[in-house]
């Protein structure tokens, strides 16, 4: 069921069996509509559609988020914005691959890319993350928002990027570990960032990524907040920009958002 705030309110006010039934019905309707829209979209042929078709087996991100990721990565290439691609929350590597495909289709070459993930699935959420639904399946590679889920292993991502697509290990850097341990250690090596894609789901993860890496996003660079609709994630963004000019967030239609760093817009 979309609309995180509505979910939270209903869960607090309705008996649990009623909420669970309503959740199943609303979720089934939402995904039925999405399947129809996806079916129509993927019947088309274009550079972006063909690239997204390639990465779909390796990602849990919906079509709107994939379109936004491709477009943002392609735009920094068109605008000759210096800096690397960074993804915090890699899972199975689909969006990491998609950003490189956008670069290849625009410039004929890949970019330096830094990919940070525990490669153990999600950490434990905190109270800041609000009411979360129960897991719907046993497959830890699903997008169920519980500890250990949204799992992609380091070996899977290495096989995808280095063996299947032949990217250079000199340009694509995979860093295993929790954000609070790895980002402070590696951020100087990362240097300037053209696209910062944050897909950590939780409040603490989002807060950590912004605190460590946002200042390295260059003028004209982009920040993608994949989980902007989640209570904890949005709270982390709100707190980070408190007292600053809040970015003009563009929603991707499926729960995420992105913005261009304000001072870059001439």
Give yes or no: residues 87 and 187 share one domain: yes
Q: What is the pLDDT of residues 104-157, one digit of tens each?
A: 999 999 999 999 999 887 777 878 877 565 655 555 555 555 555 566 799 999
Tokens of 167: 């990217």
Task: Give SS3 for 115.
Answer: strand
Give yes or no: residues 54 and 10 share one domain: no
Give yes or no: residues 125 and 216 share one domain: yes
Tell me how many domains the chain contains.
2
Q: How far apart are CA 114 and CA 172, in angstroms?
A: 6
What is the DSSP code (8-state) at residue 245?
A: P
Q: What is the pLDDT of residues 30-44, one digit of tens each?
A: 666 666 766 676 677
Q: How far apart are CA 72 and CA 101, in angstroms?
A: 12
Length of the chain counted residue by residue: 266
pTM (2 d.p.): 0.82
Give yes or no: residues 14 and 123 share one domain: no
Residue 35, domain extent: 1-41
pLDDT at residue 1, rounded to an integer:
38
Q: How far apart are CA 166 and CA 143, in angstroms?
A: 27
């Amino acid at each position: 069921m979309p609309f995180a705030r509505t979910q939270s309110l209903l869960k607090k006010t309705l008996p649990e069996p009623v909420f669970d039934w309503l959740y199943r019905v609303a979720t089934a309707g939402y995904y039925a509509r999405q399947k129809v829209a996806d079916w129509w979209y993927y019947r088309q042929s274009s550079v972006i559609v063909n690239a997204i078709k390639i990465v779909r087996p390796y990602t849990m991100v919906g079509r709107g988020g994939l379109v936004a990721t491709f477009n943002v990565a392609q735009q920094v290439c068109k605008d000759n914005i210096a800096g690397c691609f960074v993804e915090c929350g890699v899972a199975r590597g689909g969006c990491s691959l998609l950003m490189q495909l956008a670069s290849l289709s625009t410039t004929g070459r890949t970019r330096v890319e830094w990919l940070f993930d525990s490669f153990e699935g999600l950490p434990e959420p905190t109270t800041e993350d609000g009411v979360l639904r129960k897991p719907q399946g046993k497959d830890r590679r699903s997008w169920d928002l519980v500890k250990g889920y949204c799992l992609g292993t380091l070996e899977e991502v290495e096989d995808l990027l280095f063996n299947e697509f032949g990217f250079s290990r000199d340009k694509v850097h995979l860093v295993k570990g929790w954000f609070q341990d790895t980002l402070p250690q590696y951020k100087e090596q990362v240097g300037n960032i053209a696209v910062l894609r944050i897909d950590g789901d939780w409040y603490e993860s989002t807060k950590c990524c912004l605190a460590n890496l946002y200042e390295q996003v260059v003028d004209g660079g982009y920040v993608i907040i994949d989980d902007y609709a989640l209570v904890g994630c949005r709270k982390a963004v709100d707190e980070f920009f408190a007292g600053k000019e809040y970015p003009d967030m563009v929603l991707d239609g499926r729960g995420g958002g992105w913005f261009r760093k304000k001072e870059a817009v001439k």
